[in-house]
Amino acid sequence: MRELFVLLKKGNKPALWASIINATISLIKGIAYFITGNVAMFAEMMHSIGDMANQFFVFIGSALSKKAPTDKFPNGFARLVNLVLLGAVIIVGILAYETIKEGIHHILHPPEAGSWLWLNLTVLGVAAILESFVLYKAMKEVVKDIGQENVKGMEVVKVSLANLGGAKPATKLVFLEDMVATAGALIAMISILIATYTPFHTAEGYASVIIGVMLFYVVGRIFLDNAAGVLGVADEEMEKKIGEFVFEHPEVRDIKKLMVMKEGEELHVELKLEFDPEMSIEMIDHVLDGIEKKILNQRGVTEVIIESDKDDDQLSWDPGKNEV
């Protein structure tokens, strides 16, 4: 039990915050929906329930993925976070389907303009503010993931949007879900105003469909990223970076093998270098130690395996293209 609490402290904090806030939001929206029967509110309630469940599972998965390797699982549990996220998108997919189905029903059978206008707008307004708070925290976590902690203020928004691909899987899910949630709350508010003050009473149904489609976008994006993570995907950007600074050492004649594998939120590096046959073992070990320390200082790298061999006079690595 003590080990579990230690692991939970290492879990993705934005996911935990998002889960707690979405639990509050889903309760508020649920009460408002049962009072008003508003379909846009129903879509938002379903969205918040899905976000709450997903983000809680993501927090647990990100924590358990930090568990140390065991005899039964010698490669560790880093990919567990990818598996949890694949499970999470199933929940989002089901809720997206239900949201679209309810929206279509509302379009085909539009009700008269409803009452409770200010209750609906107040609940959705509060939800939008809370969701934007979580979204900003997720943006700050993206900035932290890419190693730019010095970015402050509104610059966080610009940098996080431009570098979302470099974020950890759990952070990326929270970011996308809360971006859709914030936009969804605003869309729902607009649709309620349109349905109340114009003859276009199906506006709320169309809003529900739009929110459902946005949820399906999150499903697709997260599924593709984490399916690749479960299968084992190479980090080509890190491979190029390592290739560049390996050749800063003139003693290295060639890179025979370079592979950087993403293991959940971690990076594992395998490297095989070729040296001048006349070099001493002590000199080679000195160079390898320097390269290993520099690789381990790269963000996300937790394991480095380096082998050495004598130069076979056949160039395997193209320094110009940075690839084997």
Contacts of 115 (CB under 8 A, 6+ apart): 36
Q: Which of 17, 37, 158, 180 is nearest to 95 (CA)?
A: 180
User: Could you state, in chain order, the average pLDDT of each consecutive group of 10 residues for the chain (324 residues)?
Assistant: 70 82 87 80 78 81 80 77 81 85 86 73 88 86 79 82 79 82 87 86 87 87 81 80 84 86 81 86 87 86 86 74 58
Predicted local confidence at residue 310, as pLDDT: 85
Euclidean distance between CA atoms 275 and 292, whole angstroms = 16
Euclidean distance between CA atoms 236 and 261, whole angstroms = 9
Beta bridge partners of 318: 323
Q: Are 51 and 71 in contact (CB under 8 A)?
A: no
Predicted local confidence at residue 115, as pLDDT: 66
Contacts of 241 (CB under 8 A, 6+ apart): 298
Q: What are the boundaries of each domain within the chain? A: 2-231, 236-310
Q: Are 192 and 206 in contact (CB under 8 A)?
A: no
Beta bridge partners of 306: 271
Helix/strand/coil percent split, the chain, to 5: 65, 10, 25
Predicted local confidence at residue 114, as pLDDT: 59
**Which amino acid, residue 24?**
T
Euclidean distance between CA atoms 293 and 105, whole angstroms = 61
Euclidean distance between CA atoms 307 and 303, whole angstroms = 14
Predicted local confidence at residue 320, as pLDDT: 59
Q: Are 119 and 34 in contact (CB under 8 A)?
A: no
Task: Give the CATH fold of the 236-310 domain.
Answer: Alpha-Beta Plaits (3.30.70)
Euclidean distance between CA atoms 125 and 121, whole angstroms = 6
Euclidean distance between CA atoms 311 and 285, whole angstroms = 16
2-231 carries CATH number 1.20.1510.10? yes
